[in-house]
Structure 1
Amino acid sequence: MPPIICANEFDICVSMPDFVTWAEDEHIPNADLAVALKAMGIALNITELYDTYFDDTPVGAGDVHIYPSAENESFLVMDLYRDLTDQLDIVSFSLRVDQSALYLALPHLRRFFDAAECQIAFRQSSHSQQLRSLIDGGRYPVLFDESGYLQTLIIHT
């Protein structure tokens, strides 16, 4: 019997405000996203990412960030470019989830998307072209004609 191909790559597109939950005057990481990333072994400060996006990333700018797992082959890649006409603060990200973490992370990724106020895309596949494109270091820097911004790839360790 041939081996089963594992659908462990994801492309998700939501609004940046979906990454956090507001409790009174404070924002905290979305619980499902935080659990999924923890299951994957990815150390990402979600509230810091949120603050950086809104406070330090002007419209017409934003880089691609890769966050690898310290525990397995999982990683997260986020495209934080802020389109000039985007009024919903849409962000796209892709993930490769190590098979050892897939069944822990998948239900939380799905709940994160299903609870998002701005649900654009949730794709699960065995081969994500978006993920491959985002991590292709040979395509950077990418020039955005509309803003003149040169997008770079940043790998966090």
Structure 2
Amino acid sequence: MSNNLEALEDWAGGLLSQLEPAARNKLARELGQALRRSQQQRIAAQRNPDGAKYVPRKQRNLRGKQGRVKRKAQMFQKLRTAKHFKLRFDGNAITVGFAGRVGRVAKVHQYGLKDRAENGAPDVKYSRRAILGLDETTLQVIRDKLIEQLSV
């Protein structure tokens, strides 16, 4: 995957350096928004970048809970909102990711690390769920946006 990204960077690097700063910023904003949108759709579909489904959540004993139990809740539902899923860009770089406490939760799931579900709870090893990553469709979206901007 990194080879594809490096090849894309080599291909577009010379052309992007010829753009004016305003056009480069506009392109960075459009690419960042498209990248965030594709990541949000993949997270909503509960898929890793390679197409495999996320490992399901561990079943919890909810017998003592009063009222109705929501079974259809998806993982990372709030995490993929624009409030938490930050986009930063300038003429030279585009960054899509999480910051702060939400970033820590995302990192634990991204790499399958150990963490505590709440204070005083024992450490739990979380399954690896790739929240961020590039797949072929995302790379194609980036290529299309680059070609669209450079042909104008």
Q: TM-score range by the shorter chain?
A: under 0.3
More strand as a share of residues: 1
TM-score (norm 2): 0.26
TM-score (norm 1): 0.25
More helix as a share of residues: 2
Quick one: higher RCO (CA 8 Å, sep 6+), 1 or 2? 1
- Please say which structure displays the higher CA radius of gyration: 2
